[in-house]
């Protein structure tokens, strides 16, 4: 196998990323809000030896066009909580990484920290977090705790509005607070010695004292340190500001190359952002997002896309590359991006379960034949699968040791 194997992720969202996917013959629209449906999808991905699945989520209900509420009834609306889905499937799987989406804008850092640390414990070290910033006034009104200034999507062409920039700055603070809370218990803080009646070493449980313009967190965490020390933090990024957010606080970033902005240019943008924020240590693992409609024995991906578009009444558009064709051609694209310096790809199945099945049964074997993808899981944790350091000491343990000297 290649010394730097390709990392493969799958992004799961409802019945698939095409708005008409729920009407496909193999779709399971009556089961979208059942645990069995999600368990089946994640176990299929694990059968294909994929590094991780991400599970989409948001504060507000879905709409046909991002950030533009609508009253359509011909598309999937509603979803289960991504973090709870991941928690449910954790004991039903063994090796695949589980990366739910959790928003920073309307969720307390302490709650995020505890929930994701718990997921890491229940999955035995396979948890991750896809950070999401909620930028709409509609989402803010659902919770009623703060106001977010409205803006039009067209306004983004001239840069992010000041209010949105503040939300991204807040997200960076949230990531830092969550990471500090994960470090607030040292690895050996739990003693559990019945004979001496000592369950915990209080000297190894630390305050974090994080403050920002919108919150403060004293700590320590309520949940002992996660098995990975630091679960994997990821973010989806389309432009400069989210690239910098990922460069400051994430381990993994999902990006969206398009014909207008090619894969090489996007990767260069990410590396520039790392330099501009002074990122030290491990570089970001960069995965390129691709919506996939793969050929099947009975229908080409292109023909299926046309059929799905006819149902919707308009051509499908995406924020990233849309691929239709055979698995061998998708393998060519993935390999070419890997040569550019991408760690791999995150595949968005246009229709579930069809495209996920084709990824596992056609694409994975093709990459394995080329020596570009694993034939068995080689690490028990998500950090290990992604080639990230698996020994991550608590920053507070290091500080305490330095003070002792």
Q: Which residue, 3, 29, 33, is CA-closest to 16?
A: 29
Helix (H/G/I), strand (E/B), else coil: 397: helix
| Integer CA distances (angstroms), 357 to 44, 198, 307, 354, in order | 7, 51, 19, 5
- Number of domains the chain is built from: 1
Binding-site annotation, residues for FMN: 57, 101
With respect to residue 326, please indicate whether it lies within any of the assigned structural domains.
Answer: yes
Point out the residues of the chain with pLDDT beneath 70: 1-2, 398-405
With respect to residue 108, please indicate whether it lies within any of the assigned structural domains.
Answer: yes
266 and 259 Cβ atoms separated by less than 8 Å: no
Binding-site annotation, residues: 57, 101
Could you tell me the CATH number of the domain that includes residue 240?
A: 3.20.20.30
With respect to residue 37, please indicate whether it lies within any of the assigned structural domains.
Answer: yes
Q: What pLDDT does 404 receive?
A: 45
Say how far apart CA 322 and CA 302 lie, in whole Å: 10
Q: Computed from CA positions of residues 294, 296, 302, 308, in that sequence, does the dihedral angle turn out positive or negative? A: negative
With respect to residue 198, please indicate whether it lies within any of the assigned structural domains.
Answer: no
With respect to residue 362, please indicate whether it lies within any of the assigned structural domains.
Answer: yes
With respect to residue 157, please indicate whether it lies within any of the assigned structural domains.
Answer: no
Query: What count of other Cβ atoms lies within 10 Å of the Cβ of residue 190?
Result: 16
Domain that holds residue 267: 7-135+232-404
With respect to residue 236, please indicate whether it lies within any of the assigned structural domains.
Answer: yes
Say how far apart CA 279 and CA 190 lie, in whole Å: 33
Q: Computed from CA positions of residues 323, 328, 329, 332, in that sequence, does the dihedral angle turn out positive or negative? A: positive
Q: What pLDDT does 311 receive?
A: 96
Whether the full predicted model's pTM is greater than 0.85, yes or no, is yes
With respect to residue 159, please indicate whether it lies within any of the assigned structural domains.
Answer: no
């Amino acid at each position: 196998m290649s010394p730097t194997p390709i990392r493969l992720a799958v992004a799961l969202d409802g019945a698939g990323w095409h708005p008409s996917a729920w009407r496909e013959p193999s779709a399971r629209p009556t089961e979208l809000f059942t645990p069995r449906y999600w368990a089946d999808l994640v176990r299929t991905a694990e059968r294909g030896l994929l590094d991780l699945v991400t599970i989409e989520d948001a504060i507000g209900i879905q709409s046909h066009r991002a950030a533009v509420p609508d009253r359509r009834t011909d598309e999937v609306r509603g979803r289960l909580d991504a973090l709870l889905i991941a928690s449910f499937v954790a004991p039903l799987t063994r090796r695949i990484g589980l990366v739910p989406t959790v928003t920073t804008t309307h969720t307390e850092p302490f709650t995020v920290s505890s929930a994701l640390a718990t997921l890491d414990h229940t999955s035995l070290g396979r948890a991750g977090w896809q950070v999401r910033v909620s930028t709409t006034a509609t989402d803010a009104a659902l919770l009623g705790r703060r106001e977010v200034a409205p803006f039009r999507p067209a306004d983004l062409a001239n840069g992010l509005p000041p209010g949105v920039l503040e939300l991204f700055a807040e997200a960076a603070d949230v990531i830092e607070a969550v990471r500090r809370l994960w470090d607030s218990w040292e690895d050996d803080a739990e003693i559990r010695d019945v004979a001496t009646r000592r369950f915990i070493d209080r000297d190894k449980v630390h305050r974090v004292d994080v403050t920002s313009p919108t919150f403060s967190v004293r700590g320590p965490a309520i949940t002992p340190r996660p098995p990975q020390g630091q679960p994997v933090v990821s973010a989806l990024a389309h432009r400069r500001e989210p690239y910098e957010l990922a460069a400051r606080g994430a381990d993994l970033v999902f990006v969206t190359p398009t014909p207008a902005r090619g894969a090489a240019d996007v990767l260069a943008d990410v590396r520039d952002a790392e330099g501009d924020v002074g990122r030290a240590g491990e570089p970001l693992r960069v995965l390129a997002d691709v919506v996939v409609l793969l050929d099947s024995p009975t229908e080409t991906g292109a023909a299926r896309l046309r059929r799905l578009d006819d149902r919707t009444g308009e051509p499908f558009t995406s924020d990233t590359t849309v691929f239709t064709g055979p698995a061998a051609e998708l393998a060519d694209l993935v390999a070419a991006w890997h040569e550019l310096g991408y760690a791999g790809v995150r595949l968005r199945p246009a229709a579930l379960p069809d495209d996920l099945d084709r990824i596992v049964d056609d694409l994975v074997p093709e990459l394995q034949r080329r020596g570009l993808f694993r034939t068995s899981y080689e690490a028990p944790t998500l950090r290990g699968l992604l080639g990230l350091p698996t020994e991550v000491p608590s920053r507070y343990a290091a500080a305490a040791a330095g003070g002792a000297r």
